[in-house]
Amino acid sequence: MRERDFIRSIEKRKQSANPLLEKGIGDDCAIFRTPPGDDWLVSTDMLVEGVHFDPQWHAPYLLGRKSLAVNLSDIAAMGGTPQLALLCLALPGSCEESWTSAFMDGFFSLLVEHGCTLIGGDTVSSDQLTISVTVMGTAPKEKAVCRNGAQAGDVVYVSGPLGSAAGGLYLLQNEVADLTSLMDDFPALVREHLNPSPQIVLGSILQKSGMLTAMQDISDGIATDLSHIAAASGVAAIIFEKDLPAHEQLLVMCKQLQLNPTTFQLRGGEDYQLLFTVKKGCGKQLEQLVEKESGIQVYRVGEIAQGEGVSLVKRSGATIDITYQGYEHRS
């Protein structure tokens, strides 16, 4: 499909009306207004075939959703609201129009779910399928939750089970069974890898609570992402193996294949759960608030202390260092 035909196909799609947008797709630049009383949040991510996804099992519709979801998750991690998006695609010649159409169907489905508007981007020919997305969001002025506010005495929480996406990826990469069978036996694990859900609503609730000191999403495993918070805040973090939440399907998979679920929980990437620290003495109050406003259960997994690095207290009582021992993008 020629670029101008691709752009026309996008222009025909129904989009959420955004009061901040003065001029969208069709000119050399988009024009948007600065929202009164808010700060802008901007995040970008790149997905490369063979590194971040495998088209053998990642259908274009779900890949379109995931390409946007990983950026929306960053907005959620700051307690923000998604507003505008940019999409750049490097497409191989083998990429048929039906694939591109299905990808955009998925991308737009998630845009609509979160009231976000595509305002532009670019397409080029390439030997390797590469997707780059930028999302812009807003947060109340000086109220976005950053990584650098954790203090000794704070409590560490996560928003849901850990290691599910990594478990799904393991099943797919090791061809434990065909995709249909995997979806029958381990649907939650495969779904978390192929079609993650950004925690936008929860991020907003947490930001508005006033009880948080730091937050980020879990994209590289809690071992690494909690290390980012600890380093930015100048503190140490301790988490407890017995408190790490896991989906029942991860436990079943690990038992069947004789694997250690803790490895997936600590080091597996792409959970896209929220990882956050809560002011001392506010844990129970926050749990009740989140349950009341969203029906979501959050999980206390550790605490912040003086010092540096991240430690894991194992079920045996032994303590080991796990600082930056999650997924590494380059080594």
The CATH number assigned to the domain holding 22 equals: 3.30.1330.10
115 and 160 part of one domain: no
Tell me whether residue 149 is in a domain: no
Tell me whether residue 32 is in a domain: yes
Residue 163 is labelled as binding a ligand: no
Tell me whether residue 326 is in a domain: no
47 and 192 part of one domain: no
Question: 183: buried, middle or exposed (CB in 10 Å: 19+, 13-18, 0-12)?
Answer: middle
Last residue of a domain, one of 82, 115, 140: 140
Last residue of a domain, one of 140, 174, 195: 140
Q: What is the pLDDT of residues 42-76, one digit of tens each?
A: 999 999 998 899 998 999 999 999 999 999 999 99
The CATH number assigned to the domain holding 264 equals: 3.90.650.10
Q: Answer yes or no: is pLDDT of 181 > 90.
A: no
Q: Which amino acid does the sequence have at 26? A: G
Q: φ, ψ for residue 219 (rounded to 5)?
A: -110, -25
Residue 65 is labelled as binding a ligand: no
At residue 226's C-alpha, the angle toward residues 225 and 229, to 5°, is 95
Please state, in angstroms and rounded to a whole number, the distance separating the CA atoms of residues 292 and 186: 30
Q: Is the Cα torsion angle 18, 83, 134, 14 positive or negative in sign? A: negative
Tell me whether residue 224 is in a domain: yes
100 and 13 part of one domain: yes
200 and 287 part of one domain: yes
Tell me whether residue 23 is in a domain: yes
Residue 321 is labelled as binding a ligand: no
111 and 187 part of one domain: no
Where do we find the tokens 């850990």? 162
Stretch 226-245: mean pLDDT, rounded? 98
Domain with 34, as residue range(s), is 3-140
Q: What is the pLDDT of residues 18-33, one digit of tens each?
A: 999 999 888 899 999 9
Residue 52 is labelled as binding a ligand: yes
Stretch 117-136: mean pLDDT, rounded? 94
Residue 39 is labelled as binding a ligand: no
108 and 160 part of one domain: no
164 and 126 part of one domain: no
Please state, in angstroms and rounded to a whole number, the distance separating the CA atoms of residues 78 and 233: 16
Residue 170 is labelled as binding a ligand: no
Question: 248: buried, middle or exposed (CB in 10 Å: 19+, 13-18, 0-12)?
Answer: exposed
Residue 327 is labelled as binding a ligand: yes
Nearest to 142 by CA among 80, 219, 62, 69: 80
175 and 267 part of one domain: yes
**Running DSSP on this structure, what letter comes out for residue 28?**
S
Please state, in angstroms and rounded to a whole number, the distance separating the CA atoms of residues 131 and 110: 16
183 and 278 part of one domain: yes
Last residue of a domain, one of 140, 171, 191: 140
Residue 142 is labelled as binding a ligand: no
Total domains present in the chain: 2
Six-digit token pair at 133?
């997305």
Residue 43 is labelled as binding a ligand: yes
166 and 123 part of one domain: no
Q: What is the pLDDT of residues 238-270, one digit of tens each?
A: 999 999 999 999 999 999 999 999 999 999 889
Residue 121 is labelled as binding a ligand: yes
Tell me whether residue 229 is in a domain: yes
187 and 307 part of one domain: yes
Query: In which band, very low, low, confident or very high, does the pLDDT at 327 lie, cut at 50, 70 and 90?
Result: confident
Question: 60: buried, middle or exposed (CB in 10 Å: 19+, 13-18, 0-12)?
Answer: buried
Residue 74 is labelled as binding a ligand: yes
Continuous H helices in the chain: 3-11, 60-77, 97-113, 164-173, 179-185, 187-194, 200-209, 222-233, 248-257, 261-267, 283-294
201 and 235 part of one domain: yes
DSSP string for 195-251: S----HHHHHHHHHHS-EEEEEE-SS-HHHHHHHHHHHHT-EEEEEGGG----HHHH
Question: Are the C-beta atoms of residues 308 and 232 closer than 8 Å to each other?
Answer: no
Residue 178 is labelled as binding a ligand: no
Q: Answer yes or no: is pLDDT of 183 > 90.
A: no
